[in-house]
Amino acid sequence: MKTSVKPVASWVLSAVLAAEVVFLALHASLDFPFLAPALLGAVVVQVRTCRNRLELLGAVLLAVLLALIRFRLHLRILYEHPGKWGIFLGLASLFFLGVAVLRSRPHELAGRVRAFSVALAVPGFVLIATAALSGTGHVHPMTLDRVLYAFDGSLGFQLSFILGRLFRHLPWLGVPAGLAYEQVPVAALILYTAATDAGERRRPDLLLALGAGSLLGYLLYSLVPAAGPIDLFPSFFPYSAPPLAGLAVVPASIPPDIPRNAMPSLHMFWAVLLWWNARRSGIWLRAGYLAYLILTILATLGSGEHYLIDLVVALPFALAIQAAFSVRPRDVLRSLPFWAGGITTLAWLGFLRFATPVWLGSGVLDWILVAVTVAGSVMLERQTHRESLTPADKPRNAGQDQLGGASARV
């Protein structure tokens, strides 16, 4: 009798999971920002951990079924917006990952729970973060967009306007750039699962570093609240950048429904962190994440969502997070890259907010500070990398991956 308890329980729980997946498919907002890419991360986890390819086919068929249930036979919206398929594919993958947990043997359980947790954590984080950002406009009705715009202008040009016009003249460039901008969860999980498939235990724990840095970045948004040039000058972007002459460098009023999430650029932070942590991967994966970084730079600026200085400040911020998670906890406070990155980030925020008379119109000084920040962050990150190369980070046996055997046959 005891042997029948687990199968019965797993069937009941699988039915409950299926009902939840159908409910989400029927009621999920297809326009919720970054929900489709976040759920596509579950597809990445399933592909990298599942050895039964029939389950992958089953996930595709289930996604089609969920779409049919949602729209009946009217799938025109999915033809016009193919990216929304990610919601249904992700829900289907979550279902199969959850069923794999329920069917797992004792030696497989830890790995499959970890795989399911990773796949579930990303959309959960996106939902919470989006809800938090939606209220920033009411907390900070006035922004410092004019300050950031003036700093970019003191460098001699408005790069966001230049790249914005480039996108207008080369619309095909917007496709890969837009994908890079939106598919951060997919890019992160591809690199994360590539490392675990190789049996490596790496410093930093990539997902932990990305998550902690994101939460801290949301707090930093309040120190220099800004929305981006497209929201500051909606009628001018990208064709005509207003001149600095006559521009009052004072707080600007921007509609409260627009998130204040420009400074520092978390998209730049994510892309830089992924590029740095791809260095131990194969040459093609490294090249892919370098291309991803370049496309992110183009997308963040060309879309009008960020100023150039947002991206510059993201570098020392990424350095501080990389350093914090690359060394042993007891060594963090003795890490020069950690302190240099953290102090530089806060110094930039204070400098921009409170020292406008110092940098406004001082193009040479501004360029020196930008160059020192970029070069210093890159050089100190190399030191961080050397500090992280301890014996514990040597490749382990392929069977001891961080997903704990989640790739076992199911």
Tens-binned pLDDT, residue by residue, of the chain (410 aa): 444 445 777 777 778 888 888 888 887 777 777 888 889 899 999 888 877 778 888 888 888 888 888 876 566 666 666 677 788 899 999 998 988 888 878 777 888 888 888 898 888 888 888 888 888 888 999 999 999 999 999 999 999 999 999 999 999 998 999 999 988 999 999 998 887 655 555 556 888 999 999 999 999 999 999 999 999 999 999 999 999 988 889 999 999 999 999 999 999 999 999 999 998 788 888 999 999 999 999 999 999 999 999 999 999 999 999 999 888 777 778 889 999 999 999 999 999 999 999 999 888 999 999 999 999 999 999 888 776 665 544 444 433 444 544 443 33
Report pLDDT for 81.
65
On whether the CB atoms of residues 141 and 256 are closer than 8 A, the answer is yes
Q: d(Cα 268, Cα 352) in Å, to the nearest integer?
A: 19
Q: d(Cα 221, Cα 317) in Å, to the nearest integer?
A: 12
Give the three-class secondary structure for 155.
Answer: coil
Report pLDDT for 5.
47
Q: d(Cα 21, Cα 256) in Å, to the nearest integer?
A: 34
Report pLDDT for 188.
92
Residue type, 87: I
Give one word for 199, left, alpha or beta, with left for phi > 0 and alpha for psi -120 to 50.
left
Q: Classify strands 252-253 and 142-143 as parallel, antiparallel or unpaired.
A: antiparallel
Q: What share of the chain is helix, strand, coil (3-state, %, to 5)?
A: 70, 0, 25
pTM of the model: 0.87
**How is residue 32 annotated by DSSP?**
S
Q: d(Cα 315, Cα 378) in Å, to the nearest integer?
A: 8
Report pLDDT for 196.
65
Report pLDDT for 347.
97
CA 322 to chain centre: 15
